[in-house]
Chain A
């Protein structure tokens, strides 16, 4: 590893770290109530925005129907019914394994 490699790594790591750290350090708890209300909606918006493309798209294209979708469907249904963390993950993994085994 050369010195220029190390420099590149440090610059790249700052590009990852700074967007995470700045709001955490700078944003306090004295926010206007409107902003506070907006922030309450960020988590569901971001989480859904992260997961939806990973289920329905790959490399900028819509993915064709595949068997893994059954595992995601099972996860979703069990999550809505139980509203707990472990059952939907277990159900999704079980269907995923079943799909892989049956498909051979």
Chain B
């Protein structure tokens, strides 16, 4: 059901580089797992709404009041690389 190509596609969407072996292994495992998970298709949910939130809360807000931000050094401290206050990221193309 889940082929190696599907795994490649999904791995791209998730930005995880996989080796050929991993692709094959995951294809097998994902197929097996999803085949089992498919059992939920047997449940009659025709008159049921999905539960997105188990607690029925709504309209939770905050006021438009400023709070202090992090100092620049702290914001950049864990970054991969920084330069002149910017986070330095790899090239786009």
A binds B: no
